[in-house]
Amino acid sequence: MQNLGKISQSVNLQDTRSAVNRLAGAGNYKRIMIKLSGEALAGEGEYGIDSEKISSLAKEIHEVHRLGVEIAIVVGGGNIFRGMRGAEKGIDRATADYMGMLATIMNALALQDSLEKLSLFTRVQSAIEVNSIAEPYIRRRAVRHLEKKRIVIFAGGTGNPYFTTDTTASLRAVEVGCEIILKATKVDGVYTADPKIDRTATRYRQVSFSESINKRLKVMDGTALSLCMENDMPVIVFDIFKHGNLLELVSGKDIGTLISNAEEVVVDATR
């Protein structure tokens, strides 16, 4: 455990989270970025779109929206096509990445449909022009949608190959003035090692961006982490598959792993 750096008391974690949260009077964030992986839309499967799972996600987003929180979303495309895997199979890397961007547009439309069935006004903005089905990404328009309590889904990645949707989430969060990125995954946080391989792996409750980059913790890619670090954009990694986690997290409950510029490293002593 010595190589984990300074381990703070849990009270310090709560103080840090309170400072990071910048909560309004009702205990809610004003504007958040939710990063959904393509796999989250596939449910328990690895590929495709699970209609029940996407409907369940929409309901959880609806619960958060009812609190008055402004919600931006970036969705991945790995459940349909992953650019890196395409490149490994011989497709030109840039071409494969563009194919992955198209997959994110498909996921964004599916999520938009589920949200609108719950009477939530939703806009999809794409970095790749597909004017028949989505608006082009325009920062000022996106901010105006958010101010009107419309949910904005950013699709098409950054519009450029060689960048991940994690980087897209970091970039858009900074551009539209989000307070935090909530990275929804299939695991309950960030671990010191792969818990499926290393039985001694311990979950971080709090870790710094620099620690994440230096230890290559595979939270997000290095570009995304560096962008968040430079712009003081905190990230919480949490399990989206546990019902109610999103609402409880937005309400201020200690869930998942907080990644910020705070240098303290806090691990879960119960594991």
Are 250 and 67 in contact, with CB atoms under 8 Å apart?
yes
Return the pLDDT at 111.
Answer: 97
Q: What share of the chain is helix, strand, coil (3-state, %, to 5)?
A: 40, 20, 40
Return the pLDDT at 210.
Answer: 92
Return the pLDDT at 266.
Answer: 80
Return the pLDDT at 270.
Answer: 55
**Residue 269 in tokens:** 């002593």
Return the pLDDT at 269.
Answer: 56
Residues facing residue 239 across a β-bridge: 185
Q: What ranges in 37-181 are assigned the alpha helix state H?
A: 38-41, 51-65, 83-88, 93-116, 139-147, 165-176
Return the pLDDT at 46.
Answer: 73
Enumerate residues 6+ apart whose C-beta is below 8 A from 5.
211, 263, 265
Task: Identify which of 173, 84, 168 has the alpha carbon closest to the alpha carbon of residue 128.
Answer: 168
Residues in the chain: 271
pLDDT in tens, the chain (271 residues): 334 333 333 334 444 454 454 433 334 689 999 999 888 888 776 788 989 999 999 999 999 999 999 999 999 998 888 767 777 778 999 999 999 999 999 999 999 999 999 999 999 999 999 999 999 999 999 999 999 999 999 999 999 999 999 999 999 999 999 999 999 988 889 988 877 788 788 899 999 999 999 988 888 999 999 999 999 999 999 999 899 999 999 988 889 999 999 877 787 755 5
Domain tally for the chain? 1
3-class SS of residue 113: helix
Q: What are phi and psi of 253, to 5 degrees?
A: -75, 145
Are 208 and 235 in contact, with CB atoms under 8 Å apart?
no
**Residue 140 in tokens:** 């000022």
Return the pLDDT at 35.
Answer: 97
Enumerate residues 6+ apart whose C-beta is below 8 A from 211.
5, 217, 265
Task: Identify which of 220, 152, 144 has the alpha carbon closest to the alpha carbon of residue 183.
Answer: 220
Return the pLDDT at 68.
Answer: 94
Say which CATH number the domain at 197 has: 3.40.1160.10
Give the DSSP H/E element, type plus range, for residue 227. helix 222-230
For 15, the domain range is 2-267
Enumerate residues 6+ apart whose C-beta is below 8 A from 181.
32, 33, 34, 35, 169, 170, 173, 228, 233, 234, 235, 236
Return the pLDDT at 81.
Answer: 83
**Residue 237 in tokens:** 């990694």
Give the DSSP H/E element, type plus range, for residue 20. helix 10-21
Q: What are phi and psi of 122, to 5 degrees?
A: -135, 140
**Residue 215 in tokens:** 């230890």
